[in-house]
Amino acid sequence: MAATSPVAPCDIIVFGGTGDLARRKLLPALYLRDRDGQLAADSRIVAVSRAGLDDAGYRDKVSAELRDHLPSGSYDEAAASRFLARIHYVSIDVAEKGSWLTLIALFKDAPQRVRVFYLACAPRLFGSICSGLRAGSLVTEQSRVVLEKPIGHDLASARRINEEVGAVFAEEQIFRIDHYLGKETVQNLLVLRFANAMLEPLWNSGSIDHVQITVAETVGVGGRVGYYDSSGALRDMVQNHLLQLLCLVAMEPPNRMDADAVRNEKLKVLQALRPLTGDEVHHRTVRGQYTPGLVEGSPVPGYTEELDGAASTTETFVALKAEVQNWRWAGVPFYLRTGKRLEQRASEIVVQFRPVPHSIFPGISDGAIATNRLVLRLQPDEGMRLHLVTKEPGPGGVRLRQVPLNLSFAETFKSRLPDAYERLLMDVVRGNPTLFMRRDEVEAAWEWTEPIHAAWADSRHRPQRYAAGTSGPTAATALIERDGRTWHEEESA
């Protein structure tokens, strides 16, 4: 069971309270923290949206959603009724001054409590919500605001949002969430690197040939087509989740686990990324879009069918080759890929070590000895595997075989791995921003991805088609194979 050191009494106000994120992720995460005794007795959750509901109507909805979205076996009748009693619902039209009054009235008796304003709504509303909070005198010293991604659409819009929010909240009150940083396996990457002395001496271009970061999903865009079609995989996944993973792999050791120490190091990695511009974008990136196919045995429509047949050049798949230009990583490519409607859900970081310099084994040439590889599995089957070369048992000479040392978190720790939002929401209440993105990081990530978009937009090429249920466009295979390497495909456990 997750650790349950209680957090201070708080009010958590979720804008976008009837939205997908609130229903699928935030409320289930808060329920689980409450069930495990982490929320103080009088903490409240206030859902805000435009829908005309009252407390009872909203609680009924949440009660049904919890059963749908909680991990099996987590729903407990008594815990759920205590949780539902904490919930209030307020209907607001952000643009209408008068409609804020009910929300303002809810807070007049609790000025000292921690207030978390969670903006789980479209980023174009962030500025007006923050102005509304200020106009209603709702922002206190103990307040924090959480910004869901995407923070903008490009560098200019991200800057504008950061300015608007920054006019109301101080930077240390702003929590820009990237839920990948709350995943247990992602935090474990920091522990693996900085709590094990044996890896750090090898963690550089002297021993590492290349790194692969894959986030493969089987889901399509489902009910999010409106958002997704104006976003695409580069904005939706690479600009944030994949670049954050790259930062954690590539960063220098911070001197302590402190918000600014960690984020300073991540920022340096983003700033050291070799810019991809112009023609080079076409050599080093691949974008794809899924067509109808079979995913996990079921037929699924293609992306444009999900858009009701409208033509679209939005990418649902990206693969690219990045480089971090510094002493540690010079010459070590980082291959990134992510896509929807792929063959299987599998997210992993693969650190591929260099081959041995010389074979001493008779009949086995230098190149025939498999190389060591560390695979950090983010989901599913969280864990890590270190692939080593061993002697196959038996007489008749030395035969080499690569076998994995396997650490499965489920088997080793025998406990539920908490969802990323559980950890991150409690960090916000505690006021700990270590696992959140700072303004300069978000802007640096946009700065790097923007020229890729620009080159794609100028190009006469369209995204390459790939059938749903496959591993993506063949050009993504070619991208890595051109360099004499292959994508890692983990054999099942």
Q: Any contact of residue 148 with ligand BG6 (CB under 6 A)? A: no
Helices 439-458 and 155-166, packing angle to 10 deg: 150
Catalytic annotation present for 241: yes
Identified binder of ligand BG6 from the candidate list 34, 236, 422, 443, rule CB under 6 A: 236
Rounded to a whole number of angstroms, the minimum distance from the CB of residue 18 to ligand BG6 is 18
Q: Which is nearer to ligand BG6, 217 or 422 (CB)?
A: 217
* Residue 484, both tokens: 């004499």
Helices 259-272 and 439-458, packing angle to 10 deg: 20
Q: Which is nearer to ligand BG6, 259 or 417 (CB)?
A: 417
Scanning the structure block, which residue is given the tokens 């100028």? Answer: 458
Q: Any contact of residue 217 with ligand BG6 (CB under 6 A)? A: yes
Q: Any contact of residue 306 with ligand BG6 (CB under 6 A)? A: no
Rounded to a whole number of angstroms, the minimum distance from the CB of residue 224 to ligand BG6 is 7
Scanning the structure block, which residue is given the tokens 């069971």? Answer: 1
d(CA 221, CA 303) in angstroms, rounded, equals 8
Rounded to a whole number of angstroms, the minimum distance from the CB of residue 223 to ligand BG6 is 11
Per-residue binding letters, 170-209, with ligand BG6 (x by CB under 6 A):
----------------------------------------
Question: What residue number has its CB nearest to ligand BG6?
Answer: 236
Burial 428-456 (b: 16+ CB within 10 A, else e): bbebebbbbbbbbbbbbbbbbbbebbebb
Q: Which is nearer to ligand BG6, 236 or 427 (CB)?
A: 236
Q: Which residues pair with 408 in a beta bridge?
A: 383
Q: Are 47 and 14 in contact (CB under 8 A)?
A: yes
DSSP sequence for 315-347: -SEEEEEEEB-STTTTT-EEEEEEESSBSS-EE
Phi-psi region of 296 (alpha: psi -120 to 50; beta: other; left: phi over 0): left
Rounded to a whole number of angstroms, the minimum distance from the CB of residue 236 to ligand BG6 is 5
Q: Which of 88, 210, 241, 453 is catalytic?
A: 241
* Count of residues engaged in binding ligand BG6, rule: CB under 6 A: 2
Q: Which is nearer to ligand BG6, 217 or 315 (CB)?
A: 217
Rounded to a whole number of angstroms, the minimum distance from the CB of residue 378 to ligand BG6 is 8
Rounded to a whole number of angstroms, the minimum distance from the CB of residue 96 to ligand BG6 is 29
d(CA 444, CA 240) in angstroms, rounded, equals 11
Q: What angle do CA 315, 321, 322 make, to 5 degrees?
A: 110
* Residue 15, both tokens: 């804008």
Q: Which is nearer to ligand BG6, 80 or 320 (CB)?
A: 320
Q: Which is nearer to ligand BG6, 217 or 450 (CB)?
A: 217
d(CA 112, CA 141) in angstroms, rounded, equals 8
Q: Which is nearer to ligand BG6, 34 or 217 (CB)?
A: 217
Q: Are 237 and 320 in contact (CB under 8 A)?
A: no
Rounded to a whole number of angstroms, the minimum distance from the CB of residue 177 to ligand BG6 is 9
d(CA 2, CA 420) in angstroms, rounded, equals 12
Residues that bind ligand BG6 (CB under 6 A): 217, 236
Q: Which residues are catalytic?
A: 241
